[in-house]
Structure 1
Amino acid sequence: MAEAMAVSVPEIRAARSENPKMRDRDLAAKLGISEAQLVAAHIGDNATRITPDMDRIMPALGCFGEVMALTRNESCVIEKVGEYDNYTSGDHAAMIVNREIDLRMFPKHWVHAFAIEHEAGRGLRRTIQVFDAAGDAVHKVFLRDGSNAGAWAGIVDELKLDDQSPVLGVEPRKPAEPAKGTPDQADRLRQEWDKLTDTHQFLMMVRRLKMNRLGAYRIAGAPYARRLDTTTIEQLFHKASETQVPIMVFVGNMGCIEIHTGPVKKIVEMGPWFNVLDPGFDMHLRKDHIAEVYAVTKATRRGDAVSVEAFDADGGLILQMFGVLAEEGAADKWNALVAGFETIDAAVPA
C-alpha cells in the first residue's frame, strides 16, 4: 500500500523557498517525506516525471557525453565523471562498463524518475534522478559544463510520462537485513566456500545455507573472513594513496552499485566525513557509521579475490574495496596491504 504524503505540495514548495540551500535529502527528512516526493512536488516548475525504464534512460544518457554519475547509500556517496556508453540490458541486472563509468543496475528498484533543472550558484543545473518504491535515491546523473546540454529538451520530451502529478505515493521503506548466520552450519559453510571459483557464486552459496553476507562472515573465521578494526577503511585509503596501489571501490544500494577502479590520491577528512577528492572520482564516507569491517578471501580462477568490507550498525553494507586482478602485480600489492592489518577478537552475535 502506497503511503500518502505527510505534507501538501504547497507546504513542500514553501519549505523549499525558505531553505534554498538545504540538500533535497535533508529537507525531505526534515519534512517527514521521501526525497522523491520532494522532487515530485515541483512538477511543472523545475521537474518533469520521466520513465524509469532503464532501457530507455541509458541510451538517452549517452547523448549527453561527459556527465557525473552519483550513487549513494545512507553512509557513503560515490561520484564518477565519464560517459554512459557500453550499456548491457537485463531483466534482473543490467550494466554500464567502460573505463570511467562502471555500474551494476537492478531494474526492479527503478520505480520513479525525474528530469530536473534549476538555477544553482554556478548557473543552470540539469540532472536525471531515479528513485525506488520508497522514494529513496537509487542513481543520479548530473550534466557538466562539457556535457551536450543542447540535447536536454529533446531527451526530456522523449522520456516524459503522461502522468505529471506533483503528488507521489511511496511504499514503506524496507530496513536493512540484519546479520543472518547459522553457527551449527559453520563447517558446511567453509566446505562450500572452498568450492568457489568466482566471487559471484558467494551470495548464491550463503542463500542456500539460509544465511546472508554479514552472517556468513561472522561465523566463517580465518582465513575466509577476518574481522578488522573499524578504522581499517580509512587507513587502507591512506595506504593506497601513499603507495598508489590501484584499487576497486564498490558503493551502492539495492538498485545500483557504482565502481571506481584505479588509484586514489587526495584525501580530505572533515569531521565525521572521510573524502576522496580526485579528478573524475569523489567519495564521501561517514566513518562514524562503520560498525564492523571484514577482510574476506574468495577463490577465483584468476587467484584469490581479497576484499575489505564495511557494515553499519543495522547490518547494511556500506562499501567494499578490492584489488585489481586485471592489472599485473596490483592484486598482490593490495593483498599485502590487507594482510598487514591484524585480526581483532571482538564478540559479535552470530
Structure 2
Amino acid sequence: MNALLDPIGDTSADAHARLRRAFAEGRQPPARRHRDIADDLGVGEGELIAAHATAFDLDESPLRAQRLRAEWPMIMQALESLGDVTALTRNASCVHEKVGTYRGASVDGAVGLVLGGAIDLRVFYAHWAHGFAVREHTPRGLQCSLQFFDAHGTAIHKVFLRDVDSRAAYDRLVEQFADNEATEPGIAPKPELATRAETPDAEVDVTAFQAAWAALRDTHEFFGLLRRHGLSRTQALRLASPEFAQAVEPGTAQELLLRAAQQGLPIMVFVGNPGMIQIHSGPVRRVELMGPWLNVLDPGFNLHLREDHITSAWLVRKPTVDGLVSSLELFDAAGRTIAMFFGERKPGQAERCEWRELLASLADDASARCTP
C-alpha cells in the first residue's frame, strides 16, 4: 500500500490531507496531469479526486470535488443542458477529446448511447462506480468538470465545461445529482483482476472460427464471435484467415493519419476503455509528433497516442451486408486495444474505395485494393 494511504500510525483524514497537498504540489507550474500525479503517488486517479470530496483548508489544494449519485444514465441525459463541452475518454495509451453537445442519449439495460451529433459514445454502465463534480482553480481560471471512474479508481470518462455562461447550468446539474449523504472523503478501490489466460491455440476449432468470421454480416457481431470461441482479440487476429487479418508495423498508425490528412479523407477514430468508447467521425488535418506522442490537433478533435506503447498493429476486414469493412487496430503489450481506425461510413453504405486503397497501400497488399 502507498505510504500516503497507509493507516498504520495515522488517520484516514491525515492520509487524505497528504494526498491533497501532494496534488497541489504536482499542479504547480509546470503543472502535471491528474493521472500522472496519481501514478507517482501509487494511487488511482479516482482515489486522488475522492480525497478532495470533503471540507478542508483552502491552502491544501486548488481542487474541490463533490460526489455524485450513481444515476449515470440520467446524468448522461442531463449533460445536454451544458451546451458545447469537451468530452474526454482515454486508456493508458491514448486520449480522445471531442467538442460538442451531448444529444440523443439513450440507454438499454446497462448499455448507453449518445448519437445526436459530434459527441458519439458507446457507454457500458456496468463498469461505472464513482462520479464527481470537480472544480479546480487554474492559472486560466476556474475549470469545472464531471469525472467518472470505475471500481479500481481508473478514469472512464470526463466532461469539461467550455463556456463560463454554462456554469449556472452546471451548478444546477450538480445540485440535482449531488450525493448529499456521502460525507466521508475517499473511495475503497477494488484490486485489478488478473487478465484471463488465452485459450490454447490447440484447443480452438480454427476451421469453425474462420468460417464464422467469413459468415459475419455486421461488425457488431464480432464481439459475440470472440466470446463463442473463447478468444482474445489479438488471438483471433492471429488465427484468422489472412484475407481478414494482416499484421503490419506499429508505425503504420502514423503513416495512416498523415496520409488521411493529406488526402482529406474522412475517417472514424475509436478510443475506449471497459466503460466507454468515444468516436470521432470526419477528416483529420493537423497531425504532429511530440516525443513519443502522435497527435491530432484539430478544432473540435484532439487525439494523443503513445506510439511507443503500440506492440502490434493489424489490418482487419470484416464481412457485412454492405460489403467488407476494413480497419487498422492497435494493441499494447498486454493485448489491450489502444485505438481503432475505420473509414467514415454509415450503416447501409459501402466502404469508401479511397479508404480501402489507403489501407492496402500501407500493407503493400494489391489483393485488398478496391474493385470499382
Provide the TM-score with structure 2 as the length reference: 0.87
- Distance apart, 1:5 and its partner CA: 4.0
After the TM superposition, which residues 319-330 of structure 1 pair with which residues of structure 2 at under 5 Å, given as runs?
A: 319-326=339-346
Structure 2 residue identity aligned to 1:189? F
**Structure 2: runs of 5+ lacking an equivalent:** 8-14, 56-63, 366-372
1:13 paired residue number = 20
Structure 2 residue identity aligned to 1:297? R
Are 1:85 and 2:95 an aligned pair? no
2:212 paired residue number = 192
1:29 paired residue number = 39
2:293 paired residue number = 273
- The CA distance in 2 between the partners of 1:116 and 1:28, in whole Å, is 16
Q: Which of the residues 338, 344, 357 maps onto 1:318? A: 338
- The CA distance in 2 between the partners of 1:268 and 1:147, in whole Å, is 32
Pair 298,43 (structure 1): closer, same or farther in 2 beyond 3 Å? same
After the TM superposition, which residues 31-110 of structure 1 pair with which residues of structure 2 at under 5 Å, given as runs?
A: 31-45=41-55, 46-110=64-128
More moved, 320-329 vs 145-154: 320-329
- Distance apart, 1:128 and its partner CA: 0.1
More moved, 63-72 vs 178-187: 178-187
Structure with bigger gyration radius: 2
- Distance apart, 1:146 and its partner CA: 6.1
- Distance apart, 1:222 and its partner CA: 1.1
More moved, 130-139 vs 146-155: 146-155
After the TM superposition, which residues 282-297 of structure 1 pair with which residues of structure 2 at under 5 Å, given as runs?
A: 282-297=302-317
- The CA distance in 2 between the partners of 1:289 and 1:233, in whole Å, is 12
Pair 314,86 (structure 1): closer, same or farther in 2 beyond 3 Å? same
- The CA distance in 2 between the partners of 1:318 and 1:178, in whole Å, is 19
Greater RCO (CA < 8 Å, at least 6 residues apart): 1
Structure 2 residue identity aligned to 1:56? M
- The CA distance in 1 between the partners of 2:6 and 2:91, in whole Å, is 23
Are 1:169 and 2:176 an aligned pair? no
- Distance apart, 1:187 and its partner CA: 1.7
Contact 2:102 / 2:117 at 8 angstroms: preserved in 1?
no
Pair 126,176 (structure 1): closer, same or farther in 2 beyond 3 Å? farther
- The CA distance in 2 between the partners of 1:251 and 1:201, in whole Å, is 19
Paired residue secondary structure (1:25): helix
Pair 31,325 (structure 1): closer, same or farther in 2 beyond 3 Å? same
- The CA distance in 2 between the partners of 1:318 and 1:6, in whole Å, is 33
- Distance apart, 1:166 and its partner CA: 0.8
Contact 2:325 / 2:351 at 8 angstroms: preserved in 1?
no
Pair 6,235 (structure 1): closer, same or farther in 2 beyond 3 Å? farther
- Distance apart, 1:178 and its partner CA: 6.2
Q: Which of the residues 153, 164, 175 maps onto 1:135? A: 153
Contact 1:66 / 1:147 at 8 angstroms: preserved in 2?
no
Q: Which of the residues 336, 340, 345 maps onto 2:357? A: 336
- The CA distance in 2 between the partners of 1:221 and 1:95, in whole Å, is 32
Contact 1:85 / 1:96 at 8 angstroms: preserved in 2?
yes
- The CA distance in 1 between the partners of 2:97 and 2:197, in whole Å, is 27
Are 1:145 and 2:145 an aligned pair? no
- The CA distance in 1 between the partners of 2:110 and 2:88, in whole Å, is 21
Are 1:210 and 2:217 an aligned pair? no
Aligned residues: 341
Are 1:244 and 2:254 an aligned pair? no
Contact 1:81 / 1:101 at 8 angstroms: preserved in 2?
yes
Contact 2:145 / 2:160 at 8 angstroms: preserved in 1?
yes
Pair 245,329 (structure 1): closer, same or farther in 2 beyond 3 Å? farther
Contact 2:77 / 2:106 at 8 angstroms: preserved in 1?
no
Paired residue secondary structure (1:245): coil
- The CA distance in 2 between the partners of 1:329 and 1:12, in whole Å, is 52
- The CA distance in 2 between the partners of 1:177 and 1:302, in whole Å, is 34
Contact 1:296 / 1:308 at 8 angstroms: preserved in 2?
yes
Paired residue secondary structure (1:190): helix
Contact 1:245 / 1:330 at 8 angstroms: preserved in 2?
no
Paired residue secondary structure (1:37): helix
1:347 paired residue number = none
Paired residue secondary structure (2:327): strand
2:370 paired residue number = none
Pair 147,274 (structure 1): closer, same or farther in 2 beyond 3 Å? farther
Measured against aligned partners, the alpha-carbon deviations of 1:192-226 in whole angstroms (never above 9, x if no partner) come to 11110001111111211111211110111310100
Query: Equivalent pairs: percent with the same residue?
Result: 38
Pair 232,315 (structure 1): closer, same or farther in 2 beyond 3 Å? same
Measured against aligned partners, the alpha-carbon deviations of 1:299-347 in whole angstroms (never above 9, x if no partner) come to 1111111011000011110000111223978621111100112379xxx
- Distance apart, 1:52 and its partner CA: 3.1
Instruction: State the Cα RMSD in Å.
Output: 1.9
Paired residue secondary structure (1:43): coil
Contact 2:102 / 2:114 at 8 angstroms: preserved in 1?
yes
